[in-house]
Structure 1
């Protein structure tokens, strides 16, 4: 049975369920947080926005219910469209690389690659269930997962500023309002859990005042619409182009889980309740990721991942309620069918989402740092420094410096984030297979000398 914490509003743990009215507000805030990036990916890849929203909500609900069934606790993550897949998907949907002139068929071919991405994630998740978390921690230590999280956040910085530049005044008002709400309303009851929503309202009201919001699209839109669901077509080329991007999203997803586990257990300690230890469910988390991609690929939605933006929202508001995320999934699915609702949300100016994105994307990067601090990553260890430095430069430099985040490498073009993750994993594997014992001995001696001094 879901536990309720109405008295203090310190926060909600994964199995906590707010009452109906607060839940709707909190759920809508989640939808608002995921909406800009999820819809933007759909627009850029030419996927149907309604299908993408529907698939996002359905993937989230299925993942939450499955994780609750398998672990006894919801894994509080929201599934939205991933920027990591943009380059290979756009290469298929926006060009004629397969000699196919029909745009709808191109989307169906890309769907095939997305489904296979889901299957790859599921396979890795099942593998982890067999080999254990300790083994995967050796393969994906905090210096990799934390650095990939930093890359994801910082690499999106240019996108955030690009959206903000649509109207700097509106963006800065939105950003400042959101920050002030998140700081000064913290701990002040339910209202303190809605800084992103409140900041968006301020930005939206400012935009209306400046005449930037047009409601004609809402007036013209039908009340009900059926999203343009399509079935996948499988081709080897699309599978080989899209599926390997999971190499980037697996460390990203792992980092998100570790981050949210850290914050959830901190809240549990404050509430004097047992730690949830979500990080133990790493394999199940990746299986849920894979099922989410498979759902989107089968329906015609964009490839996705669990969202760092929504993790940031939960860290800011201390609302980790699984039932609230399920409600958010239902709202997202409804948005795909309600034409006027989708049209109304689409009136949110780009500048407002840019102001929100500056804060949210920055928090993603900061959470990557927090993860490494919590896991006590030794920055004086040359092995860890090499992994962190390489991931940051390849991931950030490649994402910002090259079109579509594709690094030219001889005759190939490599996706920056995926390449950064692969290089980090490769370097770590070298250090695991060929240990540098003299470095470990050096740190052991320093630790012993420090203890002697303290004694």
Structure 2
């Protein structure tokens, strides 16, 4: 009897420890408990991971078979990139943080331009070189990371959150370019999904609360099936298993294309810095370390170069998954690694990936709205931690107003060369980063002291 009681207490203690480990960076979590959290991350980013491929591939006139092959490669590369972030190579490439990687939207505009001018092979050549440049910059980040003060990172994180609100709203309406955008059906799907997420988070017990996004996605998906909003036709032509292709396109190297892509890689690096800072602040309640930032940037670059070998576009950290971590506080690396394995399986078994791709945009939008709002709040909290000094207020206020305001009026950049327009015209994060960096370098460090001295002089 005593042995049974002792055994029961041991099992209970182990169960509690595994639940606690969900909120710890390291530690093992039973696979059956880790799978739902890993799947939740994949569902949150799946559509956004393949959308850049569809847009750029369409602009380059790729065949449907080529597009299917690239989607397969995108899932494989996203899984590999996530594993590298979780478990750094040589303690240099990768952050060791629960960052989920995916194909970057930041490059879509410039890659569409390059693809239309030179063809898809030129995109691959430029990505190969650009990725190596960013990777090397990441390895030597300790020599230049000092110019990125905490208020700069906080402003960039806030900008990332605000920039994603439109993405969430667009998904809620049915997806950009959809024939029934903003229809009653999409409103119903998005609203029901969002409501299910909120109610599940309120009423669920223990660690199940953190599966609110997965619950909302499942309920929304089932409702979409009954409403006839899920298209299964693509599954009929999808093979069960396929081997990813190496070098499916012959690489071409054009100087202007390479320069343009390298500039966008610098922008992508700023987003990665912001994502890494936001994840450490919101998920781990601490500041990010220089080594983590350096490894995160290096992973972005070198895995992007690997991505080009598979014919795929650049990879970067996904802000929506940072928002998911901020909302659930589930930071366990093993748990996120399960999600990475699921992505790799989706790359090897195209049928599985095609099934995930049937998730309607409106359902995804219902879940992401709250997640993206969480990133905004995290950025504001980071600004608060920096302190509301006169100097910090000027940097945050001016960079955000210029970055968010000017990019809403893209015609403001019409007088600039095409390359500048590609980098800044529709990328508020890049503008916020540039303005905040410049202000941080130009504004006097002792503004508060000067203000106090002037006040004393006036009183005297």
The two structures share one fold, judged by TM-score above 0.5: yes
CA distance in 2, matches of 1:409, 1:392: 22
Structure 1 residue 280: deviation in Å?
4.8
Asked whether the 8 Å contact 1:248–1:419 carries over to 2, the reply is no
Distance change (3 Å), C-alpha of 1:234 and 1:68: same
Q: Which moved more, 1:112-121 or 1:225-234?
A: 225-234
CA contact (8 A) 2:96 2:292 kept: no
Aligned mate of 2:330, from 319, 332, 335:
319
Post-superposition shift, 1:62? 2.2
Partner of 1:269: none
**CA, structure 1 residues 181+115, in 2 after alignment: closer, same or farther (shift >3 Å)?**
farther
Greater alpha carbon shift after TM alignment, 302-311 vs 436-445: 436-445
Q: How does 1:230-309 map to 2 (within 5 A)?
A: 230=248, 232-266=251-285, 278=289, 280-309=291-320
CA distance in 2, matches of 1:89, 1:41: 10
Shift of the 240–394 alpha-carbon distance from structure 1 to 2, 3 Å rule, reads farther
Paired with 1:197 and 1:68, the residues of 2 have a C-alpha distance of 34
Aligned to 2:133: 120
- Call closer, same or farther: CA 1:183–1:5 in 2, change over 3 Å: farther
Query: 1:32 and 1:438, CA in 2 relative to 1: closer, same or farther beyond 3 A?
Result: closer
> Which of the residues 70, 88, 108 maps onto 1:86?
108
* Residues 68-103 of structure 1 deviation map (CA, whole Å, 9 limit, x = unaligned): 84599832111112222221112123x2x23xxxxx
* Residue 338 (structure 1) aligns with: 349
Any conservation in 1 of the 2:94–2:295 contact (CA below 8 Å)?
Answer: no
Unaligned segments of structure 1, at least 5 residues: 99-105, 267-274, 447-455
1:239, CA displacement in angstroms? Answer: 1.2
Cα distance in structure 1, aligned partners of 2:37 and 2:295: 25
Note if contact 1:59-1:292 (Cα within 8 Å) is conserved in structure 2: yes
CA RMSD of superposed structures (Å) = 2.9
Q: Tell me, yes or no, if structure 1 residue 209 matches structure 2 residue 226.
A: yes
Provide the residue aligned with 1:421 in structure 2. 433
> Which of 44, 49, 58 matches 2:71?
49
Give the structure 2 partner of residue 189 of structure 1.
206
Distance (Å, rounded) in 1 between the aligned partners of 2:87 and 2:320: 21
Matches of 1:159 and 1:67, distance apart in 2: 33
CA contact (8 A) 2:85 2:98 kept: no
| Cα 1:236–1:53 shift into 2, 3 Å | same
Runs of 5+ unmatched residues, structure 2: 1-12, 58-66, 175-185, 456-460
**C-alpha spacing 1:339/1:72, structure 2 compared with 1 (3 Å):** closer
User: 2 CA distance for matches of 1:261 and 1:62?
Assistant: 17
Mapped contact 2:197–2:212 kept (Cα < 8 A): yes
- Shift in alpha-carbon separation, 1:359–1:439, aligned structure 2, 3 A: same
Per-residue CA deviations over 1:224-277 (Å, capped at 9, x if unaligned) read 2344543543321221111112332223222222222234444xxxxxxxx896
Q: CA deviation at 1:278?
A: 4.9
1:397-436 Cα deviation digits (max 9, x unpaired): 3444439xx94333442423323322221222222xxx25
- Check if 1:7 corresponds to 2:49: no
Q: 1:144 aligns with which of 152, 172, 177?
A: 152
Deviation at 1:121, TM superposition (A): 2.3
Q: How far off is 1:201 after superposition? A: 0.7
Cα distance between partner residues in 2 of 1:342 and 1:357? 20
The match for 2:387 is 377
Aligned positions of 1:60-71 closer than 5 A: 60-66=82-88, 69=91
Closer, same or farther: CA 332–430 of 1 in aligned 2, 3 Å: same
**Paired residues of 1:55 and 1:333 also in contact (CA < 8 A):** yes
1:142-175, Cα deviation, whole Å (9 max, x unpaired): 3222222222222232232222112111011112
Equivalent in the alignment of 1:453: none
CA distance in 1, matches of 2:377, 2:114: 33
Counterpart in 2 of 1:270?
Answer: none
Q: CA deviation at 1:198?
A: 0.8
Separation of aligned partners in 2, 1:122 and 1:213: 40
Partner deviation per Cα, 1:303-352 (whole Å, 9 max, x = no partner): 22212211221222221111222222221121122122122111111111
Query: What is the alpha-carbon distance in structure 2 between the residues aligned to residue 410 and residue 256 of structure 1?
Result: 29
The 8 Å contact of residues 265 and 277 in structure 1, kept in 2 or not, is answered as no
Whether the 8 Å contact between 1:248 and 1:422 is mirrored in structure 2 is no
Would the alpha carbon gap of residues 252 and 50 (structure 1) be closer, same or farther in structure 2, given more than 3 Å must change? same
Number of equivalences: 411
Query: Residue 414 of structure 2 corresponds to which residue in structure 1?
Result: 408
1:172 and 2:194 aligned: no
Q: Please state whether the residue corresponding to 1:80 is helix, strand or coil.
A: strand
Query: Of the candidates 300, 304, 310, which is equivalent to residue 321 of structure 2?
Result: 310
Residues 96-129 of structure 1 show CA distances to partners (whole Å, capped at 9, x for unaligned) of x23xxxxxxx223112222233223222222223
How far apart in 2 are the matches of 1:62 and 1:75?
Answer: 10
Match of 1:451 in 2: none
